[in-house]
Amino acid sequence: MSGIHKRRERHGGRFTAALLGGLAVGALGLAPATAAATDDLATARAILQESFARASVTDLRPLLPDAGRVALALPSLGHADGHVSADQCFYLLGELFERITVKSFVLTSAGKINADADSHRARGHLVIRLPDGGDRRLEIHFLLAREGSGWRLREVRENYRD
């Protein structure tokens, strides 16, 4: 068996499939172009709330940056710590949302809400249904950064909770 086949077998082909899927979508001109950044912090927070509550990566699109990377660390949900482009973030969170069943998601503040600040930390409490019927509670930390006149998502990190 060749080295490529061994790697694909070892990793289940998920990375290759995601990469090929992303390339195919991009080649068709359907890559997830980011919408204009939202200029209102309350709207940005509402987008986070709805996106995770509905497990909809499409709802999150307006917050994804035009340039730079998003810190993404969701190890218990299948994504180790790393910095990814907006398109990678879109596809990885999309894959995640397809695999989980969200029971509830509530976004709270990780500090005082100051719409005049250059960044905002928020905390989300996510409850997902496990395949065995049990629940898993996760605390997700978000960093929104002001870029130009709008807010963009720059960090998504998990804290595992029982």
pLDDT of 57 strictly over 70: yes
pLDDT of residue 25: 40
pLDDT of residue 38: 75
26 and 106 housed in the same domain:
no
pLDDT of 21 strictly over 70: no
pLDDT of 85 strictly over 80: yes
Cβ–Cβ < 8 Å for 56, 70: no
By residue range, what is the domain housing residue 85? 35-161
The tokens of 46 are what?
Answer: 């509402």
pLDDT of residue 116: 76
- Cα–Cα distance for residue pair 50/53, rounded to 1 Å: 5
25 and 44 housed in the same domain:
no
What percentage of the chain carries pLDDT values higher than 90?
A: 49
Mean pLDDT, rounded, of the chain? 78
- Cα–Cα distance for residue pair 152/70, rounded to 1 Å: 9
pLDDT of residue 36: 54
54 and 129 housed in the same domain:
yes
For the chain, the straight-line distance linking the first and the last C-alpha, in angstroms and rounded, comes to 42
149 and 87 housed in the same domain:
yes
How many domains does the chain contain in total?
Answer: 2
pLDDT of 2 strictly over 80: no
77 and 8 housed in the same domain:
no
CATH of the domain at 112: 3.10.450.50
27 and 51 housed in the same domain:
no
78 and 128 housed in the same domain:
yes
Q: Between the CA atoms of 39, 45, 51 and 52, what dihedral angle is there, to the nearest 10 degrees?
A: 160
